[in-house]
Amino acid sequence: MFKDKGILKACWVGMYILCCVLGFLQPQQGGAKILLQILALLFFLPPAADLYFSCKRKDRAELRLLRNLSLVSLGGTTALLVLNVLSAMTSNTLVGDILHYALVVVSVPFVCGQYSVYSLLLWAILLWSCLSALRKK
């Protein structure tokens, strides 16, 4: 059932929407914080399964798609973080708010999980795994 690319992509889109919406919440404490961290980790389950089944099927197009999505997320997160820090030097808070909202949307689940390093690490692992799989094929 979960070997189908369409189902895995639908699950990933659903997790993206959920984590994106939850990323706009204020930082949580206690059980809610743990739940957000679990959801942020579960965000990477559909792409990991898709990567696994794409390797088994030798589906280079799917591996390239996962690689490109990882690159866009990591590159966009880096650029938006730098711009967000630079916007702190200005007196205009609107620019900082817009950049923060863009960061929430581009780098899901970076903000949702409240521990950014896990999100960046898992995106990098997904990217590295795709690159490794593409090299082997």
104-108 long-range contacts, Cβ below 8 Å, gap at least 24? Answer: 104/20, 104/23, 104/24, 105/20, 106/72, 106/73, 106/76, 106/77, 106/80, 107/73, 107/76, 107/77, 107/80, 108/16, 108/19, 108/20, 108/23, 108/43, 108/73
Of 36-45, 53-62, 84-93, the poorest mean pLDDT is in: 84-93
Angle, alpha carbons 31-105-52 (nearest 5°): 80
Give the mean model confidence (pLDDT) for residues 58-86: 93
The pTM is what?
0.87
pLDDT tens-place string over residues 98-133: 998 999 999 888 888 888 888 999 999 999 999 999
